[in-house]
Amino acid sequence: MVCWEQAEAAELDEMWSFAQNKGCQRWLWLAIDRKTRAVLAYVFGRRQDKAFRELKALLEPFGISMFYTDDWGSYERNIDADQHTVGKKHTQAIERKNLTLRTRIKRLRRRTICFSKSVAMRDIVVGLVINILEFGWRFETHFHG
């Protein structure tokens, strides 16, 4: 059983990186709780409505009533106007979260020699690091003699 708390408001943003070469763009779509700054959900994909709709579906159980975003068109097309506030002054926390992730995960940096050769490995590594940073790491070893 998975338990989660309700989140009244969320900040949403997307972050660019690549796999293989800069022509193979990947976007990390991220949502954080506006009050606690905790990551609620994330999705990897292109910078298209389909990826955002996947993220929005993951957010439904949280009962979010207000979304704060930048002015990327996908948000405007898929969020009701009465639940949507646009502006950089409302997305400072998620922009800070993106900067922290870029600092900690080389594969998200714009100029780096560390990149994934496959899309799958890039998504696995980035997702694993986000899970460890945001949800903690529990590691147990069992040695049998």
pLDDT digits (tens, 9 = 90+) for 56-102: 999 999 999 999 998 888 899 999 999 999 998 898 998 888 787 77
Give the residue from 58, 56, 88 showing the smallest Cα distance to 72: 88
pLDDT at residue 44 tops 50: yes
User: Is the domain covering 9-135 a CATH 3.30.420.10 domain?
Assistant: yes
Contact 76, 83 (CB under 8 A): no
Could you tell me the two tokens for 54? Answer: 């996947």
Does the model's pTM come out above 0.95?
Answer: no
CA distance 18 to 67: 27
